[in-house]
């Protein structure tokens, strides 16, 4: 990244820029300017609106006192989108505190009583329709699971046998969700172990949201896929916002979804995980 590009940021006197980890989507940098430190995300060849969804989520978190990075700037420089955030110095913290923070997030419900968001979810790999709806089944099954199924089939990553199993699982999900009272909680939307951190003072914070209002079991299902959340997290969450009967079975629906996202994005290496989740859903339905 050259000095001419950096000079167009809404900060001055940048003295240091270091490339850091920013996930699989963005280029990420740590910037120092005077006594201040910043976190910069960039996305080549994208408009500034590429970050609109993340910005909306971060601002909603700030509005409801959910600790997360603050948005300091957003725009496009030389054809590249950027998002400038304050830098969070990291330390060690408690999974109990993290569970309480996520429960606090989920206690925020949509003002209109509906599921969705003001912005659609858009990434380089997929997009999802977040238009407001009264039906969680419509948002989750019709607009997310079914779209992922179509994209996976189009990439020839599923056989007709896989699709037949998906259709059976889909019916189970629709049936079970029809029995469950879903409430539209504010969700992180991508709550895997890489999207939280602890600050230097031990406080937990949430990063990289793909926020929308949905059933809170969605976030909890995502937490179970790649680890990073221990028994203290789930105990603290349940103490702060107790789960409804059958939650452990329904959480498999969201495990399956998240693994389907990874099949679509990274390929067949995640296919066995989806198959395992589908088998578990069908087995639970027979029990």
Which contacts qualify for 230-235: CB closer than 8 Å, 24 or more apart?
230/95, 232/94, 232/95, 232/96, 232/99, 233/95, 233/96, 233/98, 233/99, 233/102, 234/99, 235/96, 235/99
Query: For this structure, is 190 an active site residue?
Result: yes
Q: Which of 36, 120, 146, 190 does the annotation list as catalytic?
A: 190
SS3 string of the chain? CCHHHHCCCCCCCEEEEEEECCCCCCEEEEEEECCEEEEEEEECCCCHHHHHHHHHHHHHHHHCCCCCCCEEEEEEECCEEEEEEECCCECCCCHHHHHHHHHHHHCCECCCCCEECCCCEECCCCEECCCCECCHHHHHHHHHHHHHHHHHHHCCCCCHHHHHHHHHHHHHHHHHHHHCCCCCEEECCCCCHHHEEEECCCCEEECCCCCEEECCHHHHHHHCCCCCCCHHHHHHHHHHCCCCCCHHHHHHHHHHHHHHHHHHHHCHHHHHHHHHHHHHHHHHHHC
| Residues known to be catalytic | 190
């Amino acid at each position: 990244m050259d000095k001419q590009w950096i000079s167009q940021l809404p900060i001055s006197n940048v003295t240091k820029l270091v490339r850091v980890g920013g996930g699989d989507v963005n280029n990420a940098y740590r910037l120092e300017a005077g006594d201040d430190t910043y976190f910069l995300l960039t996305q080549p060849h994208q408009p500034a609106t590429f970050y609109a969804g993340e910005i909306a989520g971060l601002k909603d978190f700030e509005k409801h006192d959910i600790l997360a990075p603050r948005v300091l700037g957003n725009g496009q420089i030389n054809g590249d989108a950027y998002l400038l955030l304050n830098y969070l110095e990291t330390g060690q913290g408690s999974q109990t505190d993290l569970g309480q923070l996520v429960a606090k997030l989920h206690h925020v419900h949509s003002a209109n009583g509906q599921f969705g968001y003001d912005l659609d979810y858009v990434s380089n790999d997929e997009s999802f329709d977040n238009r407001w709806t009264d039906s969680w089944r419509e948002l989750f099954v019709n607009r997310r699971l079914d779209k992922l199924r179509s994209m996976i089939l189009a990439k020839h990553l599923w056989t007709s046998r896989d699709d037949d199993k998906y259709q059976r699982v889909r019916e189970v999900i629709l049936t079970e969700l029809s029995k469950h009272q879903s409430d539209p909680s504010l969700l992180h939307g991508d709550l895997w172990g890489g999207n939280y951190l602890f600050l230097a003072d031990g406080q937990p914070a949430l990063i990289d949201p793909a926020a929308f209002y949905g059933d809170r079991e969605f976030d909890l299902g995502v937490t179970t896929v790649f680890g990073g959340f221990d028994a203290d997290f789930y105990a603290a969450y349940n103490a702060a916002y107790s789960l409804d009967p059958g939650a452990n079975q329904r959480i498999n629906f969201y495990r399956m979804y998240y693994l389907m996202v990874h099949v679509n994005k990274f390929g067949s290496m995640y296919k066995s995980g989806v198959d395992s989740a589908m088998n578990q859903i069908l087995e639970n339905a027979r029990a």
